Amino acid sequence: MRPYNPPAAPYLDVVYSDAQLLVLDKPSGLLTVPGRDPAHKDSLASRAQAEYPDALIVHRLDMDTSGLVVMGRGKEVHRALSTMFQNRQVDKSYIARVWGEPVEDEGTVDLPLICDWPNRPRQKVCFESGKPSQTRWQKLDSDGATSLLELIPITGRSHQLRVHMQAIGHPILGDPFYAHPEALAAAPRLLLHAQALVFEHPVLEKEIHFLCNPGEAFQVDR
């Protein structure tokens, strides 16, 4: 198991806050919620709750993934937001830098996924007992060796984007679970970032949009 060394700065990056919800930019390397091991206590949730005691996590990002995370303030708003996420009433998009260049400019990956139990938390494609999983992707840029993709998860399985990209031959750079050695060594971290969220504010009842651009590491050199 890798040592847990979460980044100290920025300690808490608040993209948006009001009386009902928070939108935070989680750095790569920080857990969304505390782990069972006391050494894994530090997390986005615990940091946010130190400043906003009523904040509750609505959804999660993998520790290695960066980007937008929503917290509901109070149980009622948390319940409403959780229902939106469960019912796919939230539009989400990610940016990823992957190995190689897809032949097509866009496509959909439709491969069922299940936990690879002996190697958990890894997931795997399984046509016999896997749960239906779909990801839309679009090529944004490429230098031939690597490509910048927009990824839109239609379903929300664990590690879905990471496994789907590996399955079509374009693993995400820096992925410690699914990248081959060259793709793993090509980046110091997993180059997967939750870039955009769109959903209806549970109290104001208006659509709200959030955009959080990834860092320079995601850009394709020319």
Identify whether 37 is a catalytic site residue: no
Q: What single letter denotes the amino acid at residue 37?
A: D
For 130-148, b where at least 16 C-beta lie within 10 A, e where not — what string?
Answer: beebbbebebeebeeebbb
27 and 47 Cβ atoms separated by less than 8 Å: no
Catalytic residue among 62, 91, 110, 221: 62
Separation CA 110–CA 126 (nearest Å): 12
Catalytic (active-site) positions: 62
